[in-house]
């Protein structure tokens, strides 16, 4: 398996197809809370999108969006179920972190839901620390926020 990474934008059709699959999965997991979270996951304001490709097939994606002058927020992380367990998500995360550092940011932050068990495990595995919920997630009990400060 050789995974290649391509930097693109949020109007990329392969990215949009993966986001569609992600949103279907989240609608099931989040249930009645899905509409609340969906409002913060629009892709039209995302400039930095990463696609993981294998044999011209998009096997994962992620994005970064400026949160403030020091932090990029990780958004729209997804690997389809048939491609999980191969380290693709961790590779996407590292590539996004590298991109954020190239752009001069000092840390990455993100939010995931308490029902996103695979995501929670992924972020712990990649040395993200749980932080108090930030911004629109402040006071949202079903949200878990993470941060990774670059050395």
DSSP-derived secondary structure letter, 150: -
Task: Give how many domains the chain has, as a whole number.
Answer: 1
Task: Identify the pLDDT of residue 105.
Answer: 98
- Checking if the pLDDT of 69 tops 50, the result is yes
Give residue 31's pLDDT.
Answer: 61
Q: How confident is the model at residue 34, as a pLDDT?
A: 46
Condensed to tens digits (0 to 9), the pLDDT of residues 117-136 reads: 999 999 999 999 999 999 99
Query: What is the overall mean pLDDT for the chain?
Result: 90
Distance CA 150, CA 22 (A): 28
Instruction: For 118-136, give one letter per residue: b (16+ CB within 10 A) or e.
Output: ebbebbeeeebeeeebbee
* DSSP string for residues in 80-124: -GGGTTSSHHHHHHHHHHHHHHHTT-SEEEEEEETT-HHHHHHHH
pLDDT recorded at residue 115: 86
Burial code of 24-56, b = ≥16 C-beta within 10 A, e = fewer?
Answer: eebeeebeebbeebeeebebeebebbbbbbeee
CATH number, domain of 18, equals 3.40.630.30
Q: What is the pTM of this model?
A: 0.90
28-51 average pLDDT score = 67
Q: How confident is the model at residue 25, as a pLDDT?
A: 82
Residue percentage of the chain with pLDDT more than 70: 88
Q: Which of 53, 95, 89, 51 is nearest to 72 (CA)?
A: 95
* Containing structural domain, residue 79: 4-149
């Amino acid at each position: 398996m050789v995974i290649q990474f391509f930097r693109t934008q949020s109007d990329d059709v392969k990215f949009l197809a993966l986001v569609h699959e992600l949103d279907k999965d989240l609608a099931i997991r989040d249930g009645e809370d899905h509409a609340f979270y969906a409002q913060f996951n629009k892709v039209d304001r995302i400039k930095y999108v990463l696609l993981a490709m294998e044999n011209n097939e998009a096997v994962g994606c992620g994005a970064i969006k400026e949160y403030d002058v020091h932090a990029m927020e990780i958004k729209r992380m997804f690997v389809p179920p048939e491609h999980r367990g191969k380290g693709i998500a961790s590779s996407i995360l590292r590539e996004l972190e590298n991109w954020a550092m190239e752009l001069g940011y000092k840390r990455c932050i993100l939010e995931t839901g308490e029902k996103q068990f695979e995501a929670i495990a992924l972020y712990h595995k990649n040395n993200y620390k749980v932080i108090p919920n930030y911004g629109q997630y402040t006071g949202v009990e079903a949200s878990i926020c993470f941060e990774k400060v670059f050395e």
